[in-house]
Amino acid sequence: MRKALSEDDVKREVRKAKIANYTIFVIFLAFLLAIIVGYFVYRYQHTFRPDRWLNEPSERTDMIDNLLQNYEIVGLTESEVLSLLGPNDNAQGAFNADDRYVYYLGPERGLFSIDSEWLLIDFVNGIVSDYSLTTD
């Protein structure tokens, strides 16, 4: 036979259950908040902005996909490319060619970032004819 619980025991059990429910709710809320904050941090890091492109060249690998997705590079003039991306990195000597702008993107993406990634923009008669991403 079971012993009947006193009124104080019932109140104590209800209080324990409420604390457990609140704890689970707070953990769930913290987890949900972490996901939301993570999403906005990811979006901030991976959204192309000209000022960030110019001031944080090592972060360009994060922005390049967004840039290529939202801007039609082929068909732009040299002056439009310069106003969008700023001065090129041709002085570094990598992948230089006539009628080509070279932009350093940063360490290559992936688990082992040994090389650097580069954006190569080729011009024909002052108009972008092609672009490519490459590593050195």
Q: Which H/E stretch holds residue 40?
A: helix 7-46
Q: Is the pLDDT of residue 35 over 90?
A: yes
Q: What is the mean pLDDT of residues 41-63?
A: 89
Q: What is the mean pLDDT of residues 15-37?
A: 96
pLDDT score, position 1: 59
Sign of CA dihedral 20, 21, 27, 30: negative
- The mean of the pLDDT values for the chain is 90
Question: Rounded to whole angstroms, how far apart are CA atoms 106 and 29?
Answer: 36
Question: Rounded to whole angstroms, how far apart are CA atoms 32 and 22?
Answer: 15
Q: Is the pLDDT of residue 132 over 90?
A: yes
Bin 40: left if φ > 0, else alpha if -120 < ψ < 50, else beta: alpha
pLDDT score, position 122: 95
Q: What is the mean pLDDT of residues 19-24?
A: 96
Of all residues in the chain, the percent with pLDDT exceeding 70 is 97
Q: Is the pLDDT of residue 136 over 70?
A: yes
Sequence-distant (≥ 6) Cβ neighbours of residue 92 within 8 angstroms: 102, 104
Question: Rounded to whole angstroms, how far apart are CA atoms 47 and 59?
Answer: 11
DSSP secondary structure code for residue 58 in this structure: G
How confident is the model over 74-107, as pLDDT tens digits? 999 999 999 999 998 887 776 888 889 999 998 8
Nearest alpha-carbon partner for 46 in 68, 71, 64:
64
Question: Rounded to whole angstroms, how far apart are CA atoms 135 and 76?
Answer: 24
